[in-house]
Amino acid sequence: MSKPVKPRIAILISGTGSNMDAIIRACASGRLDADIAIVISDNPGAPGIKKARSAGIETFVSRYGRETPREESESEIADVIMKRSVDWVVLAGFMKILSPGFVKTFRGRIVNIHPSLLPSFPGAHAIRDVLEAGADFTGVTIHIVDELVDHGPIIAQEEVPILPNDTEKSLAERIHEVEHRLYPRTLQQLLHDDV
């Protein structure tokens, strides 16, 4: 009897790839039953690309918006993803706003993680924004991506309290702890229809 085929994912990153790292570890331990087909970055200097290569995962670096227009870059990324028969596109700190055309290509199959309790504090500076607002708590949101920024059906959320002496760095560290636990667990449920 043949083994069931694991869902295949492409992970998109821009920086250190700490959530990608958590996903790689979860796959290696069996907590996340998925194959990472490729890691894609818009940043040639992203430390996460080196981490992925060290883990033996295929990588692709796009010239997104540098030498190549956005539409061309996204078309190239979509082509790379489709050639690898990927089931899900997993955004893990990918700091580009995807066009409606890209979202349409993979509609309902792009998942993102965001460091706030959406719909509150969308955007690239959520941790700074929540501190400036004087909020008592923030959190982590995992959602399906649609054409709007930091929008789309929410799959999972977890609250993170804000402590009196929190800085961006200290709050980010506690948010990352939650992300690294919540993302692989939620992906396991999502990829295997348990949400």
Is 90 exceeded by the pLDDT of residue 65? Answer: no
Region label for 181, one of left (φ > 0), alpha (ψ between -120 and 50) or beta (otherwise):
alpha
pLDDT in tens, 72-88: 899 999 999 999 999 99
Active-site residue, from 114, 125, 151, 192: 114
pLDDT in tens, 120-161: 999 999 999 999 999 999 999 999 999 999 999 999 999 999
The pLDDT of residue 152: 97
Q: The domain spanning residue 43 has which CATH number?
A: 3.40.50.170
The answer to the question of residue 3 being in a domain is no
The answer to the question of residue 2 being in a domain is no
Q: Is 114 one of the annotated active-site residues of the chain?
A: yes
Please classify residue 181 by burial: count the beta carbons closer than 10 Å to its beta carbon, then call 0-12 exposed, 13-18 middle and 19+ buried.
middle
Is 70 exceeded by the pLDDT of residue 165? Answer: yes
- Range of the structural domain that residue 12 is part of: 8-191
The answer to the question of residue 43 being in a domain is yes
Tally the domains of the chain.
1
Q: Looking at this protein, which amino acid is placed at residue 54?
A: S
